[in-house]
């Protein structure tokens, strides 16, 4: 059993009334601390990290309005990455919650409330939905955040990224994204990708299959040539080969008389010396 499997098991037993439910933290030392991103809703204060069954020293708590992530290189991703690199976080969990006010606020309500604070519409970004990360579903918001984290180039590929939803009234956790399954699926996909798929290559790497007949090994004596299977000296034929006739000599048109002085030859450069000169 892995860390969040134990956390969900203990959480569900505790929600069902089992007062002895808990997580044996010492058994999961290699998976701690956990980096968690939650909403800024103060109703979460008495729930975290108790609903996970983790002590505070093993819980790195990051918060923003609506536990929203707007991109794979956003400032929240930066904080998550540094929590892993600097603080030693081993696993990441995005924990949304029921009855999230950030998701229930419309764009019109946002503009009206900003106006009440003296911030006019002209001072706000053009795309309020994208900038403030307004969402209609807590579940979809968690799933979107997990996708941004998982595909971020600054989050280690071996760090499990989980998505959970906590009931603000009961503290019961729902596992929306199993980070272990995502890593296992990625590893299986990689193993499949490097597998030899070409039938020709498969045949080349395949072991020869026996044809059912046993071949008797050929016995030879020391100094005797090994006979070739399927060939006999009796089958050999003598083939006579004649030397080709010398072709007639054709005198070159510009051939000089025998008494003409030989032309001067250009200096010869050794290929070895020439190669050495080029490489030097």
pLDDT at 250 over 50: no
**Cβ pair 159, 80 in contact under 8 A:** no
Nearest by Cα to 29 from 2, 56, 50: 2
| pLDDT tens per residue, range 74-110 | 999 999 999 999 999 999 999 999 999 888 889 999 9
Encode burial over 154-191: b for 16+ CB neighbours within 10 A, e otherwise. Answer: ebeeebbbbbbbbeeeebbbbbbbbbeebbeeeeeeee
- 203 confidence band (pLDDT: 50, 70, 90): low
DSSP for residue 92? E
pLDDT digit string (tens) for 17-52? 999 999 999 999 999 999 999 999 999 999 999 999
For residue 255, what pLDDT band results from cuts at 50, 70 and 90? very low
Cβ-contact 77, 69 below 8 angstroms: yes
d(CA 98, CA 67): 12
Structure-token match 């093993």, residue found: 58
What structural domains does the chain harbor? Answer: 3-103+133-193 (3.40.1050.10)
> What is the rounded CA–CA span in Å between residue 55 and residue 173?
17
Q: Dmax over Cα atoms in the chain, in whole Å?
A: 122
- Give the tens place of pLDDT for each residue, 105-140: 899 999 999 999 999 999 999 999 888 888 889 999
pLDDT, tens only, 157-192: 999 999 999 999 999 999 999 999 988 887 786 666
Cβ-proximal residues to 196 (8 Å cutoff; 6+ apart), any chain: 202, 205
Q: Which of 43, 21, 25, 42 is nearest to 34 (CA)?
A: 25
Which residues are 60's β-sheet partners?
35
Question: CA-CA distance, 144 to 38, in Å (whole number)?
Answer: 14
């Amino acid at each position: 059993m892995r860390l969040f499997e134990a956390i969900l098991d203990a959480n569900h037993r505790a929600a069902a009334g089992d007062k002895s439910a808990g997580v044996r933290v010492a058994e999961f030392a290699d998976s701690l601390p956990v980096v968690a991103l939650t909403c800024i809703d103060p109703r979460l204060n008495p729930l975290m990290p108790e609903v996970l069954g983790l002590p505070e020293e093993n819980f790195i708590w990051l918060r923003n309005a609506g536990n929203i992530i707007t991109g794979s290189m956003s400032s929240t991703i930066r904080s998550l990455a540094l929590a892993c690199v600097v603080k030693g976080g081993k696993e990441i969990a995005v924990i949304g919650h029921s009855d999230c006010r950030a998701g229930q606020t419309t764009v019109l309500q946002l503009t009206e409330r900003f106006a009440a604070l003296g911030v006019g519409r002209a001072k706000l970004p053009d795309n309020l939905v994208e900038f403030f990360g307004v969402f209609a579903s807590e579940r979809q918001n968690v799933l979107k955040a997990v996708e941004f984290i998982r595909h971020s180039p600054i989050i280690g590929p071996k760090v499990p990224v989980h998505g959970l939803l906590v009931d603000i009234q009961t503290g019961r956790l729902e596992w929306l994204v199993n980070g272990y399954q995502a890593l296992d699926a990625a590893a299986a996909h990689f193993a499949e990708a490097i597998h030899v798929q070409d039938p020709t290559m498969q045949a080349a790497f395949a072991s020869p299959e026996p044809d059912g007949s046993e071949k008797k090994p050929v016995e030879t004596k020391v100094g005797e040539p090994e006979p070739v299977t399927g060939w006999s000296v009796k089958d050999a034929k003598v083939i006579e080969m004649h030397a080709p006739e010398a072709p007639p000599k054709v005198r070159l048109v510009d051939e000089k008389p025998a008494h003409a002085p030989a032309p001067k030859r250009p200096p010869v450069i050794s290929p070895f010396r020439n190669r050495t000169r080029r490489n030097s």
